Chain A
Amino acid sequence: MRNLLNILWKYQFFILFLFFQTLSLTLLFQYNKFQKANLLNQTAEISGSTYLLLNNVTSYLKLKEINEQLLKENKRLRNNSKYHSYYSLHPERMYFNDSLHQRTYNYLGAFVINNSVADRNNYITINKGKQSKISPEMGLVTENGIVGIVKDVSEHFSVALSLLHSKTKISVRLKNSDYFGLVTWCGKSPEVLTLEDIPNHVNIQLGDTVITSGSSSIFPFGIPVGLITNIEKVEGEVFYKIQLKPSQDLRNVHHCYVVENILKTEQTALEEKAQENEN
């Protein structure tokens, strides 16, 4: 027994090293594994308010740029508005009482207060949280395209997986053909996304737009994801190797919209029921 204690004492530094290293790696795996990492949910409030403090200062420097972006978006929306069409439908004259015309997605504006692009797994912190009815698995989009998916929510802040995260997988389709694929990030550069699962008999060209498929219940159909910048046909493979440039430059996100799918609970409940019946 004394020998054992002696040995433990002699190697205490190494044993403590193993202890702390195990602790760190356990924390890392736990956080990666479960969507609801409780510890970080609580600490998000601390880090969020720190970043908000910094953002209050730096956002002034970007005001001009943000204004230009908003102006551009306003212009587009005004031009699309149905009240500007030659034959306008006045709501008081025509009224649809049809669930087909019900709104499915709700958008909520938020400011990005922290954003990284240089890590292998990048996160975006926004200044809205539980109080604004944000919950995990809501999408983040800008007027140019998608940027991430909400992961953790605290009272006033939310942390989202950036498009530049190894766990982010976006279900997409090509804009001008019906083929579906999956967009991931391989970690090389924030300018390069990977598009998988497009069979190599499909006719695609450089510069083709890739949009969300709308099949995931997170993002609505038709939001831009990226432009094709490189197509590679691999000998003996069924699928292309395609590289995309993100529609929204992720180094330059100041504000975004949180997409809430109003019918999501209905959709997922139905899908779960269907799966249960199969089992």
Chain B
Amino acid sequence: MRIDILGYILRFVFLVALQVLVFNHIHLFDFVTPFVYIVFLITLPVEFTGGLLLLVAFGLGFSVDLFTNTLGMHASACVMAAFVRPFILNLTAPRDGYEFGVKPSIQELGIGWFLTFSSLLIIIHHFTLYLVEVLRFTELFRVLGKALASGVLTLIIITVLQLLNSKNTRDK
């Protein structure tokens, strides 16, 4: 399996920039913000796991944190998402397992699978993020509401991006 390292680095920078410059400024109804950069964690290769996965996730969250004055908040949520990622992959695995080298994307594993996998990962990420933000359980319902609302928006944007992306690659 050849991992396109340069491609992933460019993706990383592009997604962080997109998040910081565009999506962080979207506040639908004052409280719904999509955290689209999580798509980087979603689309990493299935075999990519272990300490490196956690390190990459930490780096991803930390880069976003630098721009939002919330040192550690996004990092914590991303590390949590990276930690549960292998378990969710197992949970949503196709009947005969993943083919070697397969990438979690719509064109390779189908839209149904992609939506299930992404929504699980997104909700865990968003919930951790908002929980760490308030750091108390008294606002639990508001945290849940925000996580759900923002999660739905994130999922929609990620799916659209994926569809656009897959159309591009097919044209080539």
Q: Which residues of A contact B (CB under 8 A)?
A: 12-14, 16-17, 20-21, 23-31, 37, 39-40, 43, 46-47, 50-51, 54, 116-121, 123, 159, 166, 187-191, 251
Contact = CB atoms under 8 A, between A and B. Distances in A.
By CB atoms of chain A within 10 A, which of B33, B72, B73 has the most?
B72
B51 A12 contact: yes
For this complex, into which size category does the number of interface residues on chain B fall?
A: 35 or more
B30 A189 contact: yes
B71 interface: yes
B71 A28 contact: yes
Given A20-B58, A21-B76, A24-B75, A120 B134 contact: yes
Contact of A28 (B21, B51, B76, B139): B76
Q: Which of B24, B54, B69 has the most CB of A within 10 A?
A: B69
> Which secondary structure dominates where chain A touches chain B?
helix
B31 interface: yes
A116 B58 contact: no
A12 B50 contact: yes
A23 B69 contact: no
A57 to B, nearest CB: 10
A43 B66 contact: yes
B30 A118 contact: yes
B73 A28 contact: yes
Nearest 5 A/B pairs, CB to CB: A28-B72, A27-B72, A24-B76, A118-B27, A24-B75
Contacts of A119: 33, 68, 70, 133
A142 B67 CA distance: 24
B51 A13 contact: yes
Nearest to B77: A24
A74 B65 CA distance: 39
Interface string B8-39: 00000000000011001001001111000000
A16 B71 contact: no
